[in-house]
Amino acid sequence: MTRAALLAVPALVLPALVLSLAVVLAVARPHPDWLAAAVRGAPLVVFVGGAALGLFLRRGRLVLGLVVLAMADRALVHLGGRAVFDAVALLLPLNLGALVWLGEASLLTAPGGARLGVLLLQAGAVLLFQRPDVGALVVSLERPLVATHLGAWTALPQLALVAFVVALCLILARFLTDRRPLSAGAAWALVASFLALDGASVSGLANLYFVAAGLLLVVGAAWQDPRIIGLDDVTGLPTSFALNKALLRLPRRYALARVEIDEFARFREYHGAEAARRMLRLIAEALTKVSGHGGAFYCGAYTFAVVFRRMSAELASQHLDSVRRAVEAATLDVRVPQRAPGQPGRVGSVVRTVSVTISIGVAQPPGRHADPHGVLRAADLALDRAKQAGQNRVSA
């Protein structure tokens, strides 16, 4: 059985236990005083604590999922009304379904901030549903899609039921694709959200299930394969921390490489920070496609490291030279601010086609008991030789 399959088993079972506990708490009411106090404090612990954990681990999708659930919970509590209920029942499942297909991005980056902005715009739209002049739109959310009597089975309108089915299909498709615990947690969170909305008319029941849904997302994120935690916000590559861990697990035969973008400080100064970020992502993507099963890491200051297991420095150099040529041939079109001639104070922009080159140093252990960090320093020396020889080359 593969590692992904082994991870998938507890990823399915553990959330089921969490949801079963929520159902037991919902049925076994009223609660004892100590348990009632714990249930009242649960939203703060799960939503705020889980979001803090997501920010610490740079798991933007976890934070966004918790924001979606918290906003849905607060909207039903503080706004109320059938119009708000219908809007939440439609938007909540679609957001959870889309969330698992998004790439991971910290909320402190532009992509992550944009995703949070979309959720805030949705919150504003839900507020508008309280206005009396949007009555026709509210009626359309309630309008049956097919002639059937589902009112005895669920309080959700048919359009919301379709949204839940679509979201469930999206999440299950994603789970079958990546087998990641976060996808499994999102599937169970969707079920808990359905129970929350279906029991929204019962005091406290929706809140209990929304908290369970948030906890399910946290469980899925906490169970995630630790290899994908600690990614650089710009390049998406593992950072130096992950590189140090990889150096401890090397076989006796390996090669290490240092990669640096030539004259990149000048590139950033001339073309701007956004062009620099895009170029970093382009080179990171090229390094992830290196042949020979090389593992790429971002070490900061425009430098990368590549680890080749069970490979000589000579063969690794050949694989990396293909990456060097690909980077040399690649270009980006960037928009750079520029002052309009003869019009002081007015700033326009101009599109430039830009490119860079990279220099690479490669080293292998000189003996059986060589220190991998010493090999990495040897790769740094080889990189210096490549730059002194004129840049845009591989040195071993």
Q: Please give the share of the chain, as a percent, with pLDDT higher than 70.
A: 82
Q: What's the whole-number mean pLDDT along residues 193-221?
A: 81
165 Rama class: left (phi>0) / alpha (psi -120 to 50) / beta = alpha
- pLDDT attached to residue 13: 65
CA 337 to chain centre: 30
Domain ranges of the chain: 3-228, 240-395
Across residues 293-303, what is the average pLDDT? 91
User: Please, which residues have CB within 8 angstroms of residue 204's CB and are 6 or more apart in sequence?
Assistant: 39
Please state, for a pLDDT cut of 90, what percent of the chain lies above it.
35
Alpha-carbon radius of gyration of the chain: 26
Mean pLDDT of 197-203: 70
Structure confidence at residue 157 as a pLDDT band (50, 70, 90): confident
What's the mean pLDDT in 29-54? 82
Give the lowest-confidence range in 249-258, 264-273, 277-286: 264-273
Shortest CA distance to 167 belongs to which of 112, 225, 117, 213?
213
Look at the alpha carbons of 222, 223, 226, 230 in this order and tell me if their dihedral is positive or negative.
negative
Residue range 1-35, pLDDT digits in tens: 444 444 455 555 666 677 777 777 767 767 777 77
344-373, pLDDT tens digit by residue?
555 566 777 889 999 999 999 998 788 999
Whether the per-residue pLDDT at 42 is higher than 80: the answer is: yes
Q: Which residues of 172-197 are buried (b: 16+ CB within 10 A; e: fewer)?
A: bebbeeebbbbbbbbbbbbbbbbbbb
* Spatial distance between the Cα atoms of 218 and 173, rounded to a whole number of angstroms: 20
pLDDT in tens, 311-347: 999 999 999 999 999 999 999 887 766 665 555 555 5
Separation CA 51–CA 273 (nearest Å): 29
Strand order from edge to edge, sheet including 254-261? 295-300, 303-309, 254-261, 358-363, 394-395
Q: How far is 386 from 388, CA to CA, in rounded Å?
A: 6
Residue-wise pLDDT tens digits, 180-189: 778 888 998 9
Nearest to 132 by CA among 83, 80, 71, 79: 83
**φ, ψ at 370 (rounded to 5°):** -70, 145
CA atoms within 13 A on the CB side of 95: 28
pTM exceeds 0.85, yes or no? no
- pLDDT, greater one: 153 or 188: 188
The model's confidence at residue 262, banded by pLDDT at 50, 70 and 90, is very high
- CATH superfamily for domain 240-395: Reverse transcriptase/Diguanylate cyclase domain (3.30.70.270)
Task: Tell me the pLDDT of the chain averaged across its residues.
Answer: 83
Return all residues near 42 (Cβ < 8 A) that are at least 6 apart: 208, 211
Unique residue bearing structure tokens 């714990």: 38
pLDDT at res. 228: 47
Give the Cβ contact number of residue 45 at 10 Å.
14
The pLDDT of residue 86 is: 87
d(C-alpha 81, C-alpha 85), whole Å:
6
Name the E strands within the chain: 254-261, 295-300, 303-309, 332-339, 347-354, 358-363, 394-395
